[in-house]
Amino acid sequence: MSRKSKRIAVIILASLVVATGISVLFYKLIPEPPIGDVDYARLCLQQASKSKAQSYSKKSFKQAKADYDSAMKCWQKENEKFILFRDYSMVAKLAQKSAKEARNAMNNSQNLRKNMVVAVKDKIELLNGLILNVNELFNRVPLPQEVRDKISRGKLLLKEAQLYFERGEYLSAQDKIVLAEDMLMSSYNRTLDDLEEYFNSQPYWRKLVNSTIENSAKTNGNAIIIDKFARKLYIYQSGVKKLEFEAEFGKNWMGRKRLKGDKATPEGIYLVKTKIPQNKTKYYRALLLNYPNNDDVEMFRREKQQGKLPANAQIGGLIEIHGNGGKGTDWTDGCIALSDNDMLKVYNFIQVGTPVVIVGSLADFKSITENFKLRKHTERS
């Protein structure tokens, strides 16, 4: 090889070395995008989403998603610059922040769901227990239609809450539980309030009953005692209880009868006015009472005069103890209904002139609430 050729070869080789060095230096100067940080942030978001953090830890999940989106926009913006002028530090920072927030959202979501499972399950059991315990009370007391509607709606919401809970949709279950609890508890407490107010007359009822039993003992006579809350008709002879029967009353039995058509069973002391045989009544047999008595007439006159009753109101009458009962519900217009078999026994035992005492309850309110295991609920447990 000639000297000139060698010189050319050296120059070429040197040029290649320089070019390679420049290329290496160029590539070393090119910023590398934080692919690992971005991939990790995306993975954390996916895991947070699987744990339903978007529902149970909304704020943290939303922030993590916003940071991730900002990182991607920043990356795109940097890619639009000349390659050596790109700076991915903010992309990495946002991606790392997103991953941290997504992990927090996932942990919060998992903890909240665990706590919510326990809370919702306990509340469902509480309300189901309440319904089981007070169904007899709800069925026994004549409730206003608005209260009955709330109870029905509350029971429906509770069933919906159970379905959501079984599907693992705990937030929806909790929303239904809150509504169900409000409706059921408010209905329950209102019923107890109304019942407690009604039982304010219990000392007076007790006085009427004691007086009648004492008189039965003194005269060796018969007497009928009717307990509306217990749904019982008792026959006393010479001051001693001889017979006991299940009874049914007017649809609006809780309270004294005030006027015709109110479907209430009267309260007070009455007498058997007439015995009506089988062929004279559609109710098998009947004992007609002397309702209204003088007290009823005076109370009706006073309330009408005070404007507490409509001007065209009538006092009503034809209150009987009769058959065709045994339906298991209060259905009469104000009478006391017994099953036909029980009515036959009462009819044969009782004579015209027998005193009949009708009261709200022989037991006091405290005893009633203890027997039913009832208590006022003033706060959510």
> How far is residue 265's CA from residue 260's CA, in Å, rounded to a whole number?
11
Q: Taking 60 as the threshold, does the pLDDT of residue 191 lie above it?
A: yes
- Same domain, residue pair 335 and 267: yes
Q: Taking 80 as the threshold, does the pLDDT of residue 217 lie above it?
A: yes
What does the pLDDT look like over 264-300, one tens digit per residue? 999 999 999 999 999 889 999 999 999 999 998 998 8
What does the pLDDT look like over 47-89, one tens digit per residue? 888 888 888 888 888 998 898 898 889 888 888 887 777 788 8
Given 111, 138, 170, the domain boundary residue is 111
Q: Taking 80 as the threshold, does the pLDDT of residue 10 lie above it?
A: no
- Same domain, residue pair 143 and 223: no
Q: Give how many domains the chain has, as a whole number.
A: 3
If pLDDT is split at 50, 70 and 90, which confidence band does 324 have? very high
If pLDDT is split at 50, 70 and 90, which confidence band does 8 have? low
- Same domain, residue pair 278 and 190: no
- Same domain, residue pair 216 and 294: yes
- Same domain, residue pair 205 and 177: no
- Same domain, residue pair 221 and 342: yes
- Same domain, residue pair 317 and 226: yes
Structure tokens at 309: 């009753």
Residue 223's domain comprises 201-370
**The predicted structure's pLDDT at residue 24:** 47
Q: Taking 80 as the threshold, does the pLDDT of residue 18 lie above it?
A: no
If pLDDT is split at 50, 70 and 90, which confidence band does 20 have? low
**In sequence order, what DSSP letters do the residues of 155-186 get, joined into one string?**
HHHHHHHHHHHHTT-HHHHHHHHHHHHHHHHH
Given 64, 85, 111, the domain boundary residue is 111
Stretch 39-49: mean pLDDT, rounded? Answer: 84
> How far is residue 39's CA from residue 71's CA, in Å, rounded to a whole number?
11
**In sequence order, what DSSP letters do the residues of 291-329 get, joined into one string?**
-S-HHHHHHHHHHHHTTSS-TT-------EEESS--SSS
Whichever domain contains 327, its CATH number is 2.40.440.10
> How far is residue 120's CA from residue 163's CA, in Å, rounded to a whole number?
12
Residue 224 domain-assigned (yes or no): yes
- Same domain, residue pair 133 and 172: yes
Taking each helix axis from N to C end, the angle separating 35-50 and 58-79, rounded to the nearest 10 degrees, works out to 150
The residue with tokens 């058959």 is 323
Single pTM value for the model: 0.70
- Same domain, residue pair 51 and 124: no
